[in-house]
Amino acid sequence: MSEYTGHAPSGTSVGRVEKRFFTFAVPPHPLDVDSGRSLGPVTLAYETYGKLDEQATNAVLVLHALTGDSHAAGYYDTADAKPGWWDIMIGPGKPIDTDRYFVICSNVIGGCMGSTGPSSTDPDTGKPYGLTFPVITIGDMVRAQKELVEHLGIKKLLCAIGGSMGGMQVLEWAVRYPDMVRAAVPLATTTKHSALAIAFNEVARQAIMADPKWNCGDYYENDKPGHGLAVARMIGHITYLSDEAMRQKFDRRLQDRCEISFAFDVADFQVESYLRYQGQKFVDRFDANSFLYVTKAADYFNLEAAHGDGSVVAAFAKARCRFLVASFSSDWLYPTYQSRAMVQAMKKNGLDVSFVEIEAKWGHDAFLLPNARLSGMIDRFLDRAAVDAAKEAKESGHAL
């Protein structure tokens, strides 16, 4: 996930927002994770936008991608007006309309933006967990999110929506907690990583672990493995773009020079300079160990193995919600054939599914960028879900 930020061409910002924290799984009642270990206490950093209605039927859970966080919309301070990573989509008058919906976004466990992860303090030692932190899965992330959702007084989500690793969490929500999800929007995602996706993540992890400063994950009192983490980010960033996007953005244009340098310590090409900049910027905001943990969680994700005994059709037999699935034509990390496969499995279970492949030249990151077609589809999809929720509440006698 790149750090695209900007304001939508329509609608307004949610304004100033506040990061909040929810702590649960306090011993002797820790959170059991899929690796067979337990973790506690667990803290989730989260943000909310909009207002929860009296029936608690208008909650939309936004799930972030690999290196995202809870800051999905708005800004923290007028002195730092950098908007959240999906500010183009969330806010008054935007597709995820905060005048209508109560929007929640939390940082995943294993992350480093306020939620419990390897850089957090281990209460047993008083030092950062490092590699003693248990390996976590997408299922563990969702299990923790359920605790937050219930803490907020929500029994059923109007919608779960997210792209990339966020889309994996959407799928996990739909089959793990089918009675808690009315609608689901998985974007630019897959039910399991291909060998190619795993390969890129492994090369990125090896770049971190090959940095001498990584020190087997124990670097918090010393210099962090900045070089390894920067290279890992550069590798990942390449997978988020497309050939056409790279050609249009950079081609073979030189960076601040008229001729090549015949040297290795300078960036001759614009694309080299861009990747170095992205790598260094990432080092300033992300934890190297967290990168290892979240990429491993994405690699381990296998919806059909976890919920369908190897069958994706059997996995989706557990789902009860309607789906809007979107892929992007230039996304070679999670190509359209993977979305089509999940849609076919959904339809074999008689689920209400809408599917679109959106023509977009920017590669995997297209779900983060303004797109009128995607915005319109999400707007209409959420509206339909809200109408159905209101109708159901009225029929059950819970309407005002």
Please report whether residue 276 resides in a domain. Answer: no
Q: Is 124 a catalytic residue?
A: no
> 372 CB contacts (<8 Å, ≥6 apart)?
none
- Asked if the structure places residue 269 within a domain, the reply is no
Backbone angles phi, psi at 4, to 5 degrees: -70, 130
Residue 380: Cβ within 10 Å count: 13
| CATH code of the domain in which 165 resides | 3.40.50.1820
**Which pairing describes strands 42-49 and 102-106: parallel, antiparallel, or unpaired?**
antiparallel
- Evaluate whether 58 touches 102 at the Cβ level (below 8 Å): yes
Residue 152 has pLDDT above 70, yes or no: yes
Residue 68 has pLDDT above 90, yes or no: yes
Which of 164, 242, 327, 375 is an active site residue? 164
- Which is the catalytic residue, given 299, 331, 339, 375? 331
The verdict on whether residue 233 carries a ligand-binding annotation is yes
User: Which of 87, 307, 364, 375 is flagged as catalytic?
Assistant: 364
The pLDDT of residue 2: 60
Rounded to two decimals, the pTM is 0.95
- Which tokens is 108 given? 């995943």
| CA distances, 52 to each of 36, 116, 204, 248, 308 (Å) | 36, 26, 40, 43, 34
Residues 376, 343: contact at Cβ < 8 Å?
Answer: no
Q: Is the pLDDT of residue 303 over 90?
A: yes
State residue 1's pLDDT score: 56
- For residue range 212-243, what is the model confidence (pLDDT) as tens digits? 999 999 999 999 999 999 999 999 999 999 99
Which range, of 9-23, 62-76, 81-95, 245-259, averages the lowest pLDDT?
Answer: 9-23
Q: In the chain, pLDDT over 90 holds for what percent of residues?
A: 91
Lowest mean pLDDT among 37-46, 77-86, 114-123: 77-86
Q: Would you say 179 is a known binding-site residue?
A: no
3-state secondary structure 203-229: HHHHHHHCCHHHHHHCCCCCCCCHHHH
Domain assignment present for residue 137? The answer is yes
| Residue 89 located in a structural domain | yes
Average pLDDT over the chain, rounded to whole?
95
* Structural domain contains residue 200: no
Which structural domain, as residue segments, surrounds residue 91?
20-192+301-395
Sheet of 353-358, strands arranged across: 20-24, 42-49, 102-106, 59-63, 159-163, 183-187, 322-328, 353-358
Please say if 331 is a catalytic residue: yes
pLDDT, tens digit (0-9, with 9 covering 90-100), for 192-203: 999 999 999 999
- Is 75 part of a structural domain of the chain? yes
When divided into structural domains, the chain yields a total of: 1
Inside any domain, residue 227: no
Helix or strand run (H / E) with residue 61 = strand 59-63
pLDDT confidence of 12, banded at 50, 70, 90?
A: confident
pLDDT at 326 over 50: yes
User: How confident is the model over 29-42, as a mean pLDDT?
Assistant: 97
User: Is residue 264 assigned to a domain?
Assistant: no
Q: What is the DSSP letter of 84?
A: P
Q: What is the mean pLDDT of residues 59-86?
A: 93
Neighbouring CB atoms inside 10 A of 3's CB total 15
CB contact set of 5 (below 8 Å; sequence gap of 6+): 82, 83, 84, 85, 87
